[in-house]
């Protein structure tokens, strides 16, 4: 671990700064006899060189600034004593000009403390000048403490300090940083005697690209407890360069992140050098002929108890032996770039009792090993040895003992010592197991991250307290385990202090909380606001007074997903769980838990709920209670959705409600073999199978019939074929994974269905054989007809197309639609019609198609692709959503003369990489839309809603809204000399694009005819309503263009003829007006006209009359003819919109509307019904209670553990007191 240096703190204590401007100053120059410079007379402005003659002393008080207004020096032949304080330093700085440093000689002793010397530039090219300090002369001594020498420059050597022959420098807890020189010793040039203790040597550079970035030594240097880091040099020794004749003793120091172009990134030695208990890490040698990134030796080098790690750039990345003698003892060479050693096969090398990493075998020498040293956390520069490291006590037996009295270890850092407080860190698998010898606390504000595969073993009967945050996320194959070690038991994990933690693939076992403990249990969650997310985990064989597996306090929030809580014990109030907060459990099992209390304790085997609990797809079985409920006791608010409760003891009181305020609701659930006992609470059940002696439990859809479990005795509660619970759940609930109506119970009966691929002759696909699982491309050949019954689900388990060359008859019903959607595969290749036949589809959903292939045409038409003269496809009352194309026409592509008629359809949330998010139509294909909603489609280029290129499109009574294109035509694009668009009584509103034509963009000679249309609130850079160019011809009759970004119409070239129309800003034409049309509520997409609108009864008199028999209005919508009724903008019903964008990556927006304020939950599930994320609700940070009106929530594509989820189809479910609504969305990464 990089040692913490006190010197780093002094950088804050010493004021930085350039010029200090103070009105009252003292000018000084010339010879100074003994005197004191006081803070009261500060600053002292040096106007010429200063000399302190031999026998004299210059004393400087704390707080004095010495500012140089000339290129002067201070020459000290006597003494200088400048002693500041931590809060009131002394500074030698540039005033109005550069200066030339402090030169000390004469054989006396000087002292500097809490001093800053900066901004000196030396131009003297001989002698040990030292830009900041130059020290020369026999017996001249300087002591420096708590000081900073920075930002100085020397034209020769010694950018910060230069120490000449026989001079002596002692520095303690000081920093020499960011100094420069031309030749050698960017930080320090030492030719005398220098002692450094706890100093920082950082960021120094010999700018001429030569030697010794940090230190250049030809004398005697001793450095202890220092950090030598981030220095640079050209030819060698970026940290330290030791010349022949020089002696260096480096002890207990860190040499890191230094960089040399050629050799010796950390240090280069050609004299005598001893390196003891040091870390030489992450140094670099990486230009011409690089070698010895850590060290290069050509002299006499002894390395004892050091660690070389992470050095890289050339040859011999840890150490290069280039001559002389190199001796390594008790040293670790590990994790450096290969080759780690160079020249170690030459004479002069001795390696003993060291851990040398090699591909195979052990480096020759007594006591050497080749085993992972198990550093505590090398990624964070913690090179302490983890308990159990093979390097502990493995050093030379003849070496001095370690400080703890044990035999010497290998390496430069001590053994990791356990601390009761764990500040922010990561526990890594490579260091597992982590043995807990005493109480552990993660303090507030800190995060402990635990990697997959870590075992946490308790060698003492102590708790694991998390006051901050725990991120323990394992994997399916590499879980994290909290277990007893040498201790028989431990006290469990306790979360508190209102922070949030996430645990996944975790096992917690063997905890034993005494009844006298404040908490304990397997997991305990206390303090209002504390949240945990626990998924895919096991809490088992734990013991407590209450809540053996899990206990929660008031105001806490806990989410359980796919968690097994089993074989726990408590005296009372929940052998498995005691809940007093808010808890959501999904897909979890609560089983074989026991509460053993007597009549004095209201115990329950499975759980005791005293707060709010919602369980979905959970199984509660095989639990035992004595006086309370075998399955559970409920004193709070409890909701069970698609749960199975069975086989608990005593069966006569398996489910016990007590106290008048308790409530329980059952939906789509099975309670069998257990009985409900109610002592005054309220119970409501719908679509559930609840066993009774006679009759059916009151509530819609309830039954009382054997559910026919597969093997209840062995815990298999799946439903057998023929079970009365199959397809018997609430029709409004999300469908089962096989796309059938939801079953009762926690384990849906998944129909295996029928596997299909290849050619399909004339046949009928039945609901009974559904789902049809597509494992390869399906083709309906020419002359064949495939008929599908209502309720058929076509699930794509491969990325295959559905090719219709003959005829497809897929006619569903409003209650039983036909679905073409992804199955196991995340996407499929869409419905592709060709061959000149006619097909009909009704009440069909087409989602999750993604057209992408080897050709451009294969990359068009993600939902529908219509091609070929004579090919005719009629689609009604259907949804085309969430499709994509790698080129154009994500929802629909029409080409080569094909015809398509879409009536009462929704084309939404489709995305094309290029043109036509909803539709791309070309080559005289003829596509008609009647009463369709074309919304929230997107295009990477043009035509967010649709793009017609030399094709024919007809829209009647449609709404084209909230579409977007990156370039042009947010709503509708129409171009090409053969392009024809006829649009009647349509609303084209709130579409956007980046450049031209937010609503419409006709171009290239196309013809557009619009009658009684409303084009409003569209946005683009030019022509917010309509942008016309390149000879396109446009005719507008009885239309409204209003509220679009200006100009509403931009006619670059071509014709825009309008009559009897309301156009913002005015437009030439008979009967046109430019008055506010007075929409009912444009903000909420209500473009009807108020009764006093100027557009009422002002359309072309020759036009057909409106439905009420009056003269035609302008615009698409009739006047609102209500009399004396105020308009209420609130939604009239609960609604959940399709997410946008869809498909999406990485995030999407989910919008919903509430008719009145209330509690809401919004959850995301995968295609198999497993909860992925709670976006709104007890387990989410979002609010749970919303006002009436329109709302939106963003999902970032991550699960409850904060991890990115895979591409695929996801279900989102909105629940409010008005009911439940679900939709699907597609994530395409």
Which tens digits make up the pLDDT trace of 169-190? 999 999 999 999 888 888 999 9
Residues 255 and 152 in one domain: yes
d(CA 846, CA 281): 59
702 and 724 Cβ atoms separated by less than 8 Å: no
What Rg value do the Cα atoms of the chain yield, rounded? Answer: 40
Residues 627 and 665 in one domain: yes
- Written as six digits, the tokens of 931 are 């009463």
d(CA 1188, CA 1158): 8
Res 628: pLDDT = 59
d(CA 608, CA 577): 6
Residues 199 and 60 in one domain: yes
How many other C-beta atoms can be found within 10 angstroms of the C-beta atom of residue 288?
11
In a 3-state reduction of DSSP, which class is residue 12? helix
In a 3-state reduction of DSSP, which class is residue 995? coil
In a 3-state reduction of DSSP, which class is residue 8? helix
Residues 120 and 33 in one domain: yes
663 and 639 Cβ atoms separated by less than 8 Å: no
Residues 1175 and 1037 in one domain: no
Residues 1113 and 990 in one domain: yes
Res 1137: pLDDT = 84
What element of type H or E holds 11? Answer: helix 6-13
Res 1192: pLDDT = 86
Max Cα-Cα span within the chain: 118
Domain boundary among 1072, 1098, 1129: 1129
- Written as six digits, the tokens of 653 are 């009181």
- The arrangement of strands across the sheet holding 607-609 comes to 440-442, 464-466, 493-495, 523-525, 550-552, 577-579, 607-609, 632-634, 655-658, 676-679
Which tens digits make up the pLDDT trace of 446-497? 999 999 999 999 988 999 999 999 999 999 999 999 999 888 999 999 999 9
For residue 392, tell me if it sits in a domain: no
Residues 477 and 451 in one domain: yes
Res 526: pLDDT = 94
- Written as six digits, the tokens of 615 are 């369980």
For residue 652, tell me if it sits in a domain: yes
Q: Which CATH number covers residue 274?
A: 2.160.20
For residue 733, tell me if it sits in a domain: no
For residue 416, tell me if it sits in a domain: no
Residues 149 and 37 in one domain: yes
Res 126: pLDDT = 46
Residues 998 and 1117 in one domain: yes
| Residue 1130 Rama label (left phi>0; alpha psi -120 to 50; beta) | beta
DSSP string covering 448-489: EEE-TT-EEEESSS--EEESSEEEEE--SSS-EEEEESSSS-
For residue 152, tell me if it sits in a domain: yes
For residue 396, tell me if it sits in a domain: no
Domain boundary among 1085, 1109, 1129: 1129
Res 1167: pLDDT = 64
For residue 1210, tell me if it sits in a domain: yes
Model's pTM, two decimal places?
A: 0.57
Residue 261 main-chain phi, psi, to 5 deg? -70, -35
- Closest Cα partner for 1207 from 780, 827, 829? 827
Q: Which CATH number covers residue 1193?
A: 2.60.40.4070
Residues 1108 and 1175 in one domain: no
For residue 743, tell me if it sits in a domain: no
Q: Which residues pair with 704 in a beta bridge?
A: none
Which stretches of the chain score pLDDT less than 50? 1-23, 125-127, 518-520, 599-601, 1121-1130
Residues 694 and 811 in one domain: no
Residue 1006 main-chain phi, psi, to 5 deg? -70, 160
Residues 1098 and 1222 in one domain: no
- Written as six digits, the tokens of 588 are 């979890």
Total domain count for the chain?
5
- Written as six digits, the tokens of 409 are 């270890």
User: N- to C-terminal Cα distance for the chain?
Assistant: 39
**Domain extent for 924:** 752-951
How long a stretch of residues is the chain?
1229
- Written as six digits, the tokens of 38 are 């006081």
| For the chain, counts of helices (H) and of strands (E) | 1, 136
- Closest Cα partner for 457 from 488, 428, 434? 434
CB under 8 Å to 359, separation ≥6 — which residues?
Answer: none
Domain boundary among 951, 976, 998: 951
How many other C-beta atoms can be found within 10 angstroms of the C-beta atom of residue 137?
17
């Amino acid at each position: 671990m990089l040692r913490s240096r006190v010197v780093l703190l002094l950088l804050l204590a010493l004021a930085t700064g350039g010029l200090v401007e103070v009105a009252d100053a003292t000018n000084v120059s010339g010879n100074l006899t003994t005197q004191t410079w006081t803070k009261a007379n500060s600053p002292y402005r040096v106007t010429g060189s200063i000399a302190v003659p031999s026998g004299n002393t210059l004393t400087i008080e704390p707080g004095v600034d010495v500012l140089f207004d000339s290129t002067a020096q201070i020459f000290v032949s006597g003494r200088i004593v400048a002693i500041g304080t931590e809060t009131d330093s002394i500074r030698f700085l540039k005033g109005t000009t550069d200066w030339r440093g402090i030169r000390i000689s004469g054989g006396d002793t000087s002292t500097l403390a809490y001093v800053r010397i900066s901004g000196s530039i030396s131009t003297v090219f001989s002698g040990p000048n030292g830009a900041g300090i130059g020290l020369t002369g026999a017996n001249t001594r300087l002591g420096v403490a708590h000081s900073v020498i920075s930002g100085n420059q020397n034209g020769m050597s010694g950018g910060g300090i230069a120490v000449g022959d026989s001079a002596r420098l002692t520095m303690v807890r000081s920093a020499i940083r960011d100094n420069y020189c031309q030749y050698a010793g960017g930080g320090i040039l030492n030719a005398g005697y220098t002692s450094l203790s706890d100093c920082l040597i950082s960021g120094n550079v010999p700018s001429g690209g030569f030697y010794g970035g940090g230190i250049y030594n030809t004398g005697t240097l001793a450095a202890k407890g220092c950090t030598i880091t981030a220095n640079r040099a050209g030819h060698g020794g970026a940290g330290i360069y030791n010349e022949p004749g020089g002696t260096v003793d480096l002890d207990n120091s860190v040499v890191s992140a230094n960089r040399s172009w050629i050799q010796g990134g950390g240090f280069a030695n050609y004299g005598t050098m001893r390196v003891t208990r040091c870390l030489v890490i992450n140094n670099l040698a990486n230009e011409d002929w690089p070698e010895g990134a850590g060290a290069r030796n050509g002299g006499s080098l002894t390395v004892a108890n050091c660690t070389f790690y992470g050095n890289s750039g050339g040859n011999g990345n840890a150490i290069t032996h280039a001559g002389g003698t190199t001796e390594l003892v008790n040293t670790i060479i590990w994790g450096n770039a290969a080759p780690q050693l160079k020249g170690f096969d030459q004479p002069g090398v001795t390696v003993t009792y060291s851990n040398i990493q090699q591909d195979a075998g052990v480096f020759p020498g007594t006591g050497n090993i080749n085993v992972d040293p198990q550093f505590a956390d090398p990624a964070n520069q913690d090179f302490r040895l983890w308990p159990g490291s093979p390097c502990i006590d493995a050093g030379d037996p003849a070496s001095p003992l370690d400080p703890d009295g044990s035999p010497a270890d290998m390496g430069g850092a001590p053994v990791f010592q356990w601390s009761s407080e764990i500040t922010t860190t990561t526990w890594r698998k490579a260091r597992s197991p982590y043995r807990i010898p005493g109480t552990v606390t993660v303090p507030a504000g800190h995060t402990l991250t635990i990697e997959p595969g870590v075992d946490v073993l308790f060698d003492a009967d102590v708790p694991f307290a998390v006051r901050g945050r725990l991120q323990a996320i394992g994997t399916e194959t590499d879980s994290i385990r909290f277990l007893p070690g040498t201790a028989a038991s431990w006290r469990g994990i306790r979360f508190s202090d209102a922070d949030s933690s996430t645990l996944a693939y975790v096992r917690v076992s063997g905890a034993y909380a005494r009844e006298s403990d404040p908490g304990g249990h397997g997991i305990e969650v206390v303090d209002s606001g504390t949240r945990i997310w626990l998924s895919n985990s096991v809490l088992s064989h734990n013991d407590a007074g209450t809540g053996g597996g899990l206990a929660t306090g008031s105001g806490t929030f806990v989410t359980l997903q796919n968690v097994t809580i089993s074989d726990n014990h408590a005296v009372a109030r929940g052998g498995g769980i005691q809940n007093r907060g808010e808890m959501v459990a999904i897909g979890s099992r609560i089983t074989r838990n026991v509460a053993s209390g007597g009549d004095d304790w209201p115990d329950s085997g499975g759980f005791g709920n005293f707060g709010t609990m919602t369980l979905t797809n959970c199984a509660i079985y095989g639990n035992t209670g004595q006086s309370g409920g075998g399955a559970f006791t409920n004193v709070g608010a409890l909701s069970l959705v698609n749960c199975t409760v069975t086989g608990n003891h005593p069966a006569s009181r398996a489910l016990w409600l007590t106290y008048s305020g308790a409530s329980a609701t059952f939906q789509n659930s099975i309670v069998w073999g257990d009985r409900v006992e109610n002592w005054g609470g309220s119970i409501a059940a719908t679509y559930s199978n609840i066993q009774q002696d006679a009759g059916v439990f009151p509530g819609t859809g309830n039954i009382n019939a054997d559910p026919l479990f597969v093997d209840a005795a062995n815990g298999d509660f799946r439903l057998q074929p023929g079970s009365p619970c199959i397809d018997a759940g609430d029709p409004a609930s999300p469908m089962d994974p096989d796309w059938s109506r939801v079953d009762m119970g926690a384990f849906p009966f998944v129909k295996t269905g029928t596997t299909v691929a290849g050619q399909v002759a004339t046949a009928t696909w039945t609901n009974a054989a559904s789902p049809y699982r597509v494992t390869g491309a399906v083709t309906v050949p020419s002359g064949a007809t495939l008929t599908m019954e209502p309720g058929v689900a076509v699930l794509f388990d491969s990325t295959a197309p559905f090719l219709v060359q003959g005829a497809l008859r897929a006619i569903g019903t409003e209650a039983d639609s036909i679905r073409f959607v992804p199955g196991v595969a995340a996407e499929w290749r869409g419905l592709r019609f060709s061959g000149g036949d006619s097909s009909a589809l009704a009440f069909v959903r087409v989602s999750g198609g993604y057209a992408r292939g080897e050709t451009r045409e294969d990359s068009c038409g993600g939902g529908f692709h219509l091609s070929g003269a004579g090919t005719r496809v009629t689609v009604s009352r259907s949804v085309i959503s969430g499709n994509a194309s790698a080129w154009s026409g994500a929802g629909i592509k029409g080409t080569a003369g094909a015809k398509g008629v879409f009536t009462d359809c929704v084309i939404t949330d489709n995305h094309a990489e290029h043109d036509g998010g909803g539709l791309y139509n070309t080559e005289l294909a003829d596509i008609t839309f009647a009463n369709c909603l074309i919304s929230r489609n997107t295009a990477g280029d043009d035509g967010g809603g649709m793009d017609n290129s030399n094709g024919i499109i007809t829209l009647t009574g449609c709404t084209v809204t909230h579409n977007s294109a990156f370039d042009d035509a947010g709503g509708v694009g129409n171009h090409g000399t053969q392009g024809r668009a006829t649009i009647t009584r349509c609303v084209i509103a709130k579409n956007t694009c980046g450049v031209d034509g937010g609503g419409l963009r006709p171009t290239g000679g196309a013809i557009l005819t619009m009658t009684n249309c409303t084009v409003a609130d569209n946005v683009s850079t030019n022509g917010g309503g309509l942008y016309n160019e390149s000879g396109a011809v446009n005719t507008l009759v009885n239309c409204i263009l209003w509220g679009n970004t200006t100009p509403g119409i931009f006619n670059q070239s071509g014709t825009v003829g309008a009559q009897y129309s309301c156009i913002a800003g005015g437009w030439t034409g008979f009967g046109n007006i430019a008055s506010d049309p007075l929409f009912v509520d444009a903000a909420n997409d209500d473009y009807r006209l108020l009764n006093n609108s100027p557009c009422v009864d002002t359309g072309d008199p020759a036009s057909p009359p409106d439905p009420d028999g009056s003269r035609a209005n302008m615009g698409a919508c009739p006047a609102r003819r209500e009399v004396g009724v105020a308009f209420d903008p609130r939604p009239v019903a609960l609604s959940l919109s399709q997410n946008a964008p869809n498909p999406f990556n990485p995030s999407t927006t989910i919008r919903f509307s509430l008719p009145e304020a209330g509690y809401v939950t919004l959850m995301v599930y995968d295609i198999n019904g497993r909860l992925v994320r709670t976006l709104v609700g007890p387990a989410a940070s979002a609010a749970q209670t919303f006002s009436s009106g329109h709302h939106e929530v963003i999902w970032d594509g991550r699960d409850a553990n904060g991890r990115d989820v895979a591409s695929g189809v996801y279900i989102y479910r909105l629940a409010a007191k008005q009911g439940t609504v679900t939709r699907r969305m597609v994530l395409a990464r």
